[in-house]
Structure 1
Amino acid sequence: MLRVLVTRPEPGASRTARRLEEAGFQPVLLPLTGTKALPAAAGLIPDDAVAVAVTSANAMRHAPEEIIATLAALPCHAVGRRTAEAARKAGFLSVSEGPGDAEALADVLAAGFSGKTIVYLCGRVRFPAFEQRLGTAGVRVHAVETYDTLTVGYPDEVILER
């Protein structure tokens, strides 16, 4: 059986492993990164925020309950299906599912939110294109970093065992 190395973090690693097994491969899980929650205070949310954007399900999973409670009544614009599911599960009342990538979501949001403030739930490590596109369109983006991505290291013995 052909072995496939899966380097993505959980919970995605297990989903990928199941799909690989169903396709006849033997997955070898060795995540190279992990995520950890960051402290984020609801008091830092701007009063003029009219919507929430999220491009990572991890941002939802790690968002403190206080932040969710503060934002749950605002419309939430998720990048895709899994992120939208995570937003609904977290408690957002109105969630729209975006086109599947952050830059396309920024393009969708740009027209409707020019001159307005949106809260962007995100990770500390992220690509700048989403915020740049919205900023260029006149959207004020207030980033709330809910998690960090950390490198995972393994001793040689662990790697050889797998």
Structure 2
Amino acid sequence: MLKNIFKKEKPRVYLGTLAVVPRTGIKKSFDSWDLTRVVELDGKLKETLTEVFCLPPSNSRIEVLESDLVLDVLISEFQLGAALLPEILFPILWRPKVTLVSKLSNLNSGKTKRVLAVTEKMPWAGFFSRLLTFQGLIGLRPSFNVNDLEKLLYIGSEKVFTKLKNSI
């Protein structure tokens, strides 16, 4: 009985902004030797981000409560991972990686409640097993693709949800 009296009601969480930050730096040029691949990466990651964070949008709330929260999520950094440059067969070893940054704030006041950054990288064992395939070594196909980044995005999103759930 007393438990119900002092039990705090959980706030409602709405979705704010979802974004993929445009990439800069030298790794972008290594991932983007095929320009259609860059457009595919950015678009596919944004689409996956929208699927994963399927909360109601902040502009859809009907009843305004003081405890309403908004979640903004962006992919601040990602890299596809590389093994060989196709033109010069120069080995470059970096693993696929996705960094998610999320901000949970009060929807009415805009006051930030929690900022969280999560980085997910492909494990070294998975990296080398993909790298050392025949097709990957001779360059018949890229060793890594957008599906690898999507898997990392799902893992990182699950960590974001778990940590934010514990902080509410």
TM-score, structure 1 length as denominator? 0.23
Larger radius of gyration: 2
